Amino acid sequence: MSINWVMLSDAQNFTPLPNEETLYKSPPRTTLSLQTLNKYPGREPFHVTSSSGTIHLTNRRVVYLPQTPSPTLQSFAAPILNLHDTHVDSPWFGPNTWTALVQPVAGGNIPPQHAALELKITFKEGGAFDFSARFERVKERLQQAVEVARESGHAAGDGSETGRGLGGGALAGVNLDAVHLDELPAYEPGSGVPVPPEQVVEQQEAMRRDSEILSGSTGPNSPRVPAAPFTPPAEPPPGYEEAQMDSVADELERRLRRDG
């Protein structure tokens, strides 16, 4: 995580890293809040906010660009694998908020005494759940790619950045081209090999014959006898209450033996 280290460009708002692809862009008026965790009250507080801006999700990081940059906050970026405990908060009233625990990187304009900060992104115009779903999918597949690279000896660590993350960084040995970011097609029953029309007719005819046999009509001119409606019995079967009592007694005895 770093502040004011995103390379900006007029054409794309920010300059992408090598092999970086933008996957999501939030609506405007998205707010950002980056602050010290409440469970560390003794440390010097750190708090940066932006009331309006746009958040971008790429296959490598999360980038936030405020609508009106200030000397304190001109840009924000965090590698995906440096974001932990991510979830969406959906209040009864007000917009949804995406919250994450952020692991800062060295030299990212974050005071070194802070090992983690709380990040809150508020989607005033919607999109929190869409952003969260895309983020979780990308993070999972990045973790899989890092694990493969680590097992093959091309990478070390868990993929989280420790430096500024401007170059290859922790993902330098990871084959990002092998990270499939597209969603798998939804499964549809019967979407495999198409069934010939004559086979469909045969199946329909077989179902019709089975229906006639069950209804008592086996010939083309045989009258159809409606099936008698099912009527549940008014009384329990013989010995039902005794069986229930015995079952309860056996269960109680097992519990007493176990607790004793």
Question: What 3-state DSSP class applies to 78?
Answer: strand
Instruction: Quote the DSSP letter at residue 106.
Output: T
CA distances from 11 to 45, 60, 77, 175, 233 (A): 36, 20, 18, 27, 76
Q: What is the CB neighbour count within 10 angstroms for residue 175?
A: 14
Rounded to whole angstroms, the Cα distance separating 114 from 105 reads 10
Distance between terminal CA atoms of the chain? Answer: 56
The pTM assigned to this predicted structure is: 0.63
Q: Which residues contact 215 (CB under 8 A, 6 or more apart)?
A: 224, 225, 226, 227
Domain boundaries, the chain: 2-178
pLDDT per residue as tens, the chain (260 positions): 678 778 887 665 888 888 788 999 999 899 999 988 765 555 678 889 999 999 999 988 999 999 999 988 999 999 999 999 999 999 888 999 999 999 888 777 887 777 788 999 999 999 999 999 999 999 998 888 888 777 776 555 555 655 544 444 555 556 666 565 655 444 344 444 454 555 555 666 666 666 665 555 555 555 554 555 656 666 666 665 666 666 656 666 666 666 55
Q: Which residue has the tokens 């602050």?
A: 35
Cα 11-119-53 angle, rounded to 5 deg: 30
Q: Which residues pair with 77 in a beta bridge?
A: 2, 63
Under CATH, which architecture does the 2-178 domain have?
Roll (2.30)
